[in-house]
Amino acid sequence: MPRRSYKFKIGVLALQGAFREHIEMLQSLGVETVEVRLPHHLDGLDGIIIPGGESTSIGRIGERYGLLEPLREWALQGKAMWGTCAGMILMAKDVGMDQPILGVMDITVLRNAFGRQKDSFEVDLKIPALDAVSTRREKGKPFHAIFIRAPVISSVGPGVEILATLDDGTIVAAQQGNMLATAFHPELTNDTRFHRYFLEVVRRTR
């Protein structure tokens, strides 16, 4: 398929964590990016990414800067939002503990599901949904997923589509309309398919 032009402005929440890598990948696709630290930084954006990092810290800083409610409204208004790792935790309706979250996606998330930093791992995943944005050479190719102190999705609501699982059925990527969540870090690879997939979500929700 021919390379598409993405004339979007995408924000990346830049309070803590791996936001720089998302920005670099988006810019490699020709996308205008904004580092989001305050509510007014959301003005004029077409989509928002909540990166990996430490979910409790991101939530507390976001609360202090008055960002949580605007982000919650953003998602509930049907605008495109993608959370990776800690971002997925923040988007979930239930994380099994008391911490600041957005609670916008009908998923239950288990934090640090695989253990500590030393238990981080990489695995190739079959993700058929990515074929929609793949070139002929990329179609059917597994996605190399990097898990770093990763959460998992332990249950999903009826409106949630499961995009990827591990071999044992553990859910590691899902979508609910305008909202996308991944337990792993696509921004740490050279594969832009997940970012292109999110940009198609953006295109549909504009």
Q: Which of 21, 22, 41, 85 is catalytic?
A: 85
Give residue-wise pLDDT tens across range 132-182: 999 999 999 999 999 998 999 999 999 999 999 999 999 999 999 999 999
Per the structure, the count of domains in the chain is 1
- Contact criterion met (CB below 8 Å) for 182 and 158: no
Q: Evaluate whether residue 62 is within a structural domain.
A: yes
Quote the CA–CA distance of 22 and 25 in Å, as a whole number: 5
Q: Evaluate whether residue 159 is within a structural domain.
A: yes
Q: Evaluate whether residue 39 is within a structural domain.
A: yes
Q: Is the pLDDT of residue 193 over 80?
A: yes
Interior/surface letters 161-181, b for 16+ CB within 10 angstroms, e for the rest: eebbbeeeeebbbbbbebbbb
Q: Evaluate whether residue 2 is within a structural domain.
A: no
Task: Write down the mean pLDDT value for the chain.
Answer: 94
Q: Which residue has the tokens 């999110």?
A: 198
Whether 85 is catalytic: yes
Q: Evaluate whether residue 126 is within a structural domain.
A: yes
Among 4-18, 48-62, 96-110, the range scoring the smallest mean pLDDT is 4-18
By residue range, what is the domain housing residue 87?
Answer: 9-205
> In terms of pTM, does the model score above 0.85?
yes
pLDDT at residue number 1: 40
The CA-based angle 7-160-37, given to 5 degrees, is 45
Whether 161 is catalytic: no
Q: Evaluate whether residue 123 is within a structural domain.
A: yes
Q: Evaluate whether residue 160 is within a structural domain.
A: yes
Q: Evaluate whether residue 111 is within a structural domain.
A: yes
Q: Which of 35, 187, 195, 200 is catalytic?
A: 187
Give residue-wise pLDDT tens across range 51-99: 999 999 999 999 999 999 999 999 999 999 999 999 999 999 999 889 9
User: What contacts 10, CB < 8 A, 6 or more positions away?
Assistant: 26, 31, 32, 33, 34, 45, 46, 47, 48, 49, 199, 202
Burial classification of residue 90, based on how many CB atoms lie within 10 Å of its CB (0-12 exposed, 13-18 middle, 19 or more buried)? buried
Q: Looking at residue 62, which CATH number applies to its domain?
A: 3.40.50.880
Give residue-wise pLDDT tens across range 88-102: 999 999 998 899 999
Whether 185 is catalytic: yes
Q: Which of 22, 41, 185, 195 is catalytic?
A: 185
* 101 vs 118, residue with greater confidence: 101
